[in-house]
Amino acid sequence: MNEKNQYQKHIILDTDIGCDPDDLFALMFAINSPEVSLDLVTTCDEWKGYRANFTRELFKNLNNSTPVVKGTTLNNPRYCTIDNLVPEQNQDDDYLGAMADIIKSNNHTTIACIGPQTNIANFLTKYPELINKVDVLMMGGAINYRNKNKAEHNVRMDTSSAIKVFNSLVQKKYVLSDTTFNMKLAVDKDHKLYKKISENPKIGELAKQSIDNFFNNFYPASLMHDPLTLAALIRPDLIDFKTEKLVMADSGIMSLSNSGINTVVSSNAKYDDFMEFLYPRI
Ligand SMILES: [Ca+2]
């Protein structure tokens, strides 16, 4: 693990790792980036604790001591594709308490949410007094979504939580699907990032099996939505943001409106530079 120092940004990674492998690449990116201190991993859209146990198994093999806690379930087994790789976890963890302990111990913490926003919404509800000690970076939302009548996946999976976070006063940034849905971010079985993680002597086999499960069950490639989102913390010059006046409908669909809330959203990224920057950190 990297040396931690006072200049690092403290982060909690809130992830639905264990389906689309971009979360796995984001996790590796975070732990191999000295610019950030990964203080805690929470899992969202959990299914029977598989995501938490998968992350723990990775960390055990990597000799990484970052704590991992099982977060909320959305009772949604479809998006969990690692149930053949690790055991389930029956008992619940106090993920809100774990988040609060980390946040109280730091001057400032960024919650990087790369899945549905249930845990964050619950945290903001339970600990409103900590709102000024955190900011939230999310992969989620879209203004010009490719699927016109649907909200973006992370928003759609738990729309009421997404609306709570959107309307919260917490400082926040959205890395929109409009920015991340770009074929320059595609990783398939022939990609050097797939080969590199598969050949990792400590976690290669587990990583490869989990990625293959996704390729076999969903799509033959994964776009690096979540690692690009973390680039906002690690290499901010690689992703641009702007402020837009936005509303979020009950459906979770975001749109521009003169009466909307000023919201910081991604506008562009340096895709090729990002992919080259990511490679040595996987
Ligand atoms: Ca994700």
Tally the domains of the chain.
Answer: 1
Q: End-to-end CA distance of the chain: give it in Å, rounded.
A: 13
- Is 208 part of any domain? yes
Is the pLDDT reported for residue 2 higher than 90?
Answer: no
- Please tell me the distance between residue 18's alpha carbon and the centre of ligand 1 in angstroms: 9
- Please tell me the distance between residue 244's alpha carbon and the centre of ligand 1 in angstroms: 24
- Please tell me the distance between residue 44's alpha carbon and the centre of ligand 1 in angstroms: 9
Q: Which residues are near ligand 1, the ion (C-beta closer than 5 Å)? A: 16, 23, 114-115, 226
- Is 3 part of any domain? no
- Is 251 part of any domain? yes
Q: Which residues, including other chains, have CB under 8 Å from residue 10's CB and lie 6 or more apart?
A: 36, 37, 39, 102, 106, 108, 109, 110
- Please tell me the distance between residue 199's alpha carbon and the centre of ligand 1 in angstroms: 23
Please state the three-class secondary structure of the chain as a single string.
CCCCCCCCEEEEEEECCCCCCHHHHHHHHHHCCCCEEEEEEEECCECCCHHHHHHHHHHHHHCCCCCEECCCECCCHHHCCCCCCCCCCCCCCCHHHHHHHHHHHCCCEEEEEECCCHHHHHHHHHCHHHHHHEEEEEECCCCCCCCCCCCCHHHHCCHHHHHHHHHCCCEEEEECHHHHCCHHHEEECCCHHHHHHHCCCCCHHHHHHHHHHHHHHCCCEEECHHHHHHHHHHCHHHEEEEEEEEEECCCCCEEECCCCEEEEEEEEECHHHHHHHHHHHC
Q: Looking at residues 97-109, what average pLDDT do you find? A: 98
| Structure confidence by residue, pLDDT tens digits, 10-48 | 999 999 999 999 999 999 999 999 999 999 999 999 999
Q: Looking at residues 144-164, what average pLDDT do you find? A: 96
- Please tell me the distance between residue 260's alpha carbon and the centre of ligand 1 in angstroms: 27
- Please tell me the distance between residue 258's alpha carbon and the centre of ligand 1 in angstroms: 31
Range of the domain at 276: 9-281
- Please tell me the distance between residue 243's alpha carbon and the centre of ligand 1 in angstroms: 24
- Please tell me the distance between residue 146's alpha carbon and the centre of ligand 1 in angstroms: 18
The percent of residues above 70 in pLDDT, for the chain, comes to 98
CA dist 217 and 88 (Å) reads 20
Is the pLDDT reported for residue 7 higher than 80?
Answer: no
Burial state string for 144-160 with b = 16 or more CB within 10 A and e = fewer than 16: ebeeeeebbbbbbbbbe
What's residue 74's pLDDT?
A: 97
Which of 73, 22, 53, 86 minimizes the C-alpha distance to 215?
22
Count of positions (residues) in the chain: 282
Q: Quick one: pLDDT band at residue 6, thresholds 50, 70, 90?
A: low
- Is 129 part of any domain? yes
- Is 237 part of any domain? yes
| Structure confidence by residue, pLDDT tens digits, 158-186 | 999 999 999 999 999 999 999 999 999 99
Contact call for residues 27 and 53 (beta carbons, < 8 A) = no
- Is 227 part of any domain? yes
Domain CATH code at residue 219:
3.90.245.10
CA dist 115 and 117 (Å) reads 6
| Structure confidence by residue, pLDDT tens digits, 228-277 | 999 999 999 999 999 999 999 999 999 999 999 999 999 999 999 999 99
The percent of residues above 90 in pLDDT, for the chain, comes to 96
Q: Quick one: pLDDT band at residue 1, thresholds 50, 70, 90?
A: very low
- Please tell me the distance between residue 26's alpha carbon and the centre of ligand 1 in angstroms: 9
- Please tell me the distance between residue 234's alpha carbon and the centre of ligand 1 in angstroms: 18
- Please tell me the distance between residue 16's alpha carbon and the centre of ligand 1 in angstroms: 5
Is the pLDDT reported for residue 212 higher than 50?
Answer: yes
- Please tell me the distance between residue 127's alpha carbon and the centre of ligand 1 in angstroms: 24
Contact call for residues 150 and 115 (beta carbons, < 8 A) = no
Cα 197 to Cα 41, 86, 203, distances in angstroms: 20, 18, 8
Kindly report whether the global pTM for this prediction surpasses the value 0.85: yes
- Please tell me the distance between residue 78's alpha carbon and the centre of ligand 1 in angstroms: 14
What's residue 262's pLDDT?
A: 98
- Please tell me the distance between residue 221's alpha carbon and the centre of ligand 1 in angstroms: 14
CA dist 179 and 270 (Å) reads 10
Is the pLDDT reported for residue 5 higher than 80?
Answer: no
- Please tell me the distance between residue 259's alpha carbon and the centre of ligand 1 in angstroms: 30
Q: Looking at residues 141-155, what average pLDDT do you find? A: 95
- Is 4 part of any domain? no
Q: Looking at residues 54-82, what average pLDDT do you find? A: 97
Cβ neighbour number for residue 191 with a 10 Å cutoff: 16
What's residue 159's pLDDT?
A: 98
